Chain A
């Protein structure tokens, strides 16, 4: 079942451009993702590719100068601001990247839930001592804080869990542990949306991976496709694959274009070795290729 569907999402910020002149700066264009119940979708891409903005758009917590276009649906129903407000923190849970999201002046137990029985159950599940509930955030280690944040997200029995970069800074052992928690959530029936740039972990734990580039989805494919370069469709996904230390460590020249300086047509075209004339005209619409979805005119 599709828990969350994001279709052709565009996001623009209204900026002042010298004096009173204003203009819209486009940061997300033609973005598509689908999070299904019982599955984990990883969103991979470099920083500045719009991953965190997508999360803010889904939760409805963008600043006022943002303009969102395109459709989001929640179990088939349009995801309106009113619905977002009703769902977030309850059916839509968010596990932030930074451990600074906890209130430093409040004991962690109360931040997880006001219901002590709920806190006890969750702490038990995540191997946190019952005494931790009475501690303050600064008394916890990084790994413990991570588990507290996960507990807080789960206190409302969410149907969609969004985790924003939960692993940087964690050792491989702790990162794996965190990923196992998210995998368990998906296995228990929730839809899990994992924002990450650690492809290696995504391949091991997620069901599907959506690759973002400069604010658009370039490819969505089964996680297992990412174990072999030839099974990938988009030239950027392949470039990512080749750059992983275990697969060649080959960099691609160039940098991701910035908002306000985006090329016409396919956003990856300036760096692409498969570029053809039509790539410079229009952003390629997503199409199905070999069981995945790719936005590229030349993918086979």
Chain B
């Protein structure tokens, strides 16, 4: 009810994650993103493709609200990303070993955001015995499953997968993507896959956004 005044604006962006005119630079360096625009609907799967160093991962962090742009804004349902509390846009990192606390047993890491149900854990192939282990005792592919389960909390609306499978062998890669796509479509979440593999982008997304060399992605 308190949104009544904003009703037209909210209706316009309902169920959408939008980035408008994003400009970003690290410190006083050159602008890495120069007025970037994109939008993803709930239930849509989009891939961001481009060469290394073109700003894909930076954009992923901005969309998730982990970095603040120099100018421009990121909105969800037409409203800015929440500054505190649960983040509806969850980022899954390229290096799972860097995204978990090395001194926490994985059972604790898993429940940092919510308590994933057994069905999700089974679908992700997470074994009960792994809960008592430390991150160093699991392989990258196994750790990545924990990071995915952690990101798939009930309040999550959008998932950004930033090169989540580059360090995995092809079978584990296919396993992880199959279950990620299943969960995302079952829950109607939006998915943004960041990758530099065109073949992978074709497989996992409905729409591909390509960054060109000049770091100024086309507006779609």
Q: Which residues of A contact B (CB under 8 A)?
A: 45-48, 168-174, 197, 199-200, 239-240, 243-246, 249-253, 255
Contact of A174 among B52, B142, B172, B197 (CB under 8 A): B52
Inter-chain CA distance A133–B197, complex, in Å, is 33
> Judging by beta carbons under 8 Å apart, are A245 and B199 in contact?
yes
Knowing A47-B140, A197-B170, A240-B169 are in contact, say whether A169-B199 is a contact too (CB < 8 A).
no
Knowing A169-B52, A174-B52 are in contact, say whether A45-B169 is a contact too (CB < 8 A).
yes
Closest A residue to B170 by beta carbon equals A243
B188 within 8 A of A: no
Contact of B174 among A45, A199, A249 (CB under 8 A): A249
> Judging by beta carbons under 8 Å apart, are B52 and A46 in contact?
no
Tell me the smallest distance from the CB of B178 to a CB of chain A, in Å. 5
Knowing A171-B52, A197-B169, A245-B202 are in contact, say whether A255-B174 is a contact too (CB < 8 A).
no
Knowing A168-B166, A255-B125 are in contact, say whether A46-B196 is a contact too (CB < 8 A).
no
Tell me the smallest distance from the CB of B30 to a CB of chain A, in Å. 15
Inter-chain CA distance A48–B140, complex, in Å, is 10
Knowing A171-B51, A243-B174 are in contact, say whether A255-B142 is a contact too (CB < 8 A).
yes
> Judging by beta carbons under 8 Å apart, are A46 and B167 in contact?
no
> Judging by beta carbons under 8 Å apart, are B175 and A245 in contact?
no
Knowing A171-B51, A171-B52, A245-B199 are in contact, say whether A251-B174 is a contact too (CB < 8 A).
yes
Inter-chain CA distance A244–B169, complex, in Å, is 9
- Across the interface, which residues of A come within 8 angstroms of B166, CB to CB? 168-169
> Judging by beta carbons under 8 Å apart, are A245 and B171 in contact?
no
Tell me the smallest distance from the CB of A110 to a CB of chain B, in Å. 28
- Across the interface, which residues of B come within 8 angstroms of A46, CB to CB? 141, 168-169, 171-172
Contact of B139 among A48, A171, A174, A249 (CB under 8 A): A48
> Judging by beta carbons under 8 Å apart, are B174 and A47 in contact?
no
> Judging by beta carbons under 8 Å apart, are B167 and A244 in contact?
no
> Judging by beta carbons under 8 Å apart, are A249 and B203 in contact?
yes
A47-B169, A245-B174 known; 13 new pairs, CB 8 Å cut-off, are: A46-B172, A168-B167, A171-B52, A197-B168, A197-B170, A243-B170, A243-B171, A245-B203, A249-B178, A251-B175, A253-B175, A255-B125, A255-B141
Tell me the smallest distance from the CB of A5 to a CB of chain B, in Å. 26
Knowing A170-B52, A245-B203 are in contact, say whether A240-B139 is a contact too (CB < 8 A).
no
Closest A residue to B173 by beta carbon equals A243
Give me 5 A-to-B residue pairs in the complex whose CB atoms sit less than 8 angstroms apart, sorted by A's number: A48-B139, A199-B170, A240-B169, A245-B202, A249-B178
- Across the interface, which residues of B come within 8 angstroms of A255, CB to CB? 125, 141-142, 172
Tell me the smallest distance from the CB of B213 to a CB of chain A, in Å. 11
- Across the interface, which residues of A come within 8 angstroms of B134, CB to CB? none
Inter-chain CA distance A170–B51, complex, in Å, is 9
Closest B residue to A246 by beta carbon equals B199
- Across the interface, which residues of A come within 8 angstroms of B177, CB to CB? 249, 251
- Across the interface, which residues of B come within 8 angstroms of A171, CB to CB? 51-53, 196
- Across the interface, which residues of A come within 8 angstroms of B173, CB to CB? 243, 245
Inter-chain CA distance A45–B168, complex, in Å, is 10
Tell me the smallest distance from the CB of B195 to a CB of chain A, in Å. 9
Interface string of B157-171 (1 = CB under 8 A from A): 000000000111111
Inter-chain CA distance A176–B199, complex, in Å, is 16
**3 cross-chain pairs, A with B, having the tightest CB-CB distances, nearest first:** A46-B169, A251-B174, A251-B175
B81 within 8 A of A: no
B25 within 8 A of A: no
Tell me the smallest distance from the CB of A223 to a CB of chain B, in Å. 16
Knowing A47-B140, A245-B197 are in contact, say whether A173-B171 is a contact too (CB < 8 A).
no
Tell me the smallest distance from the CB of B141 to a CB of chain A, in Å. 8
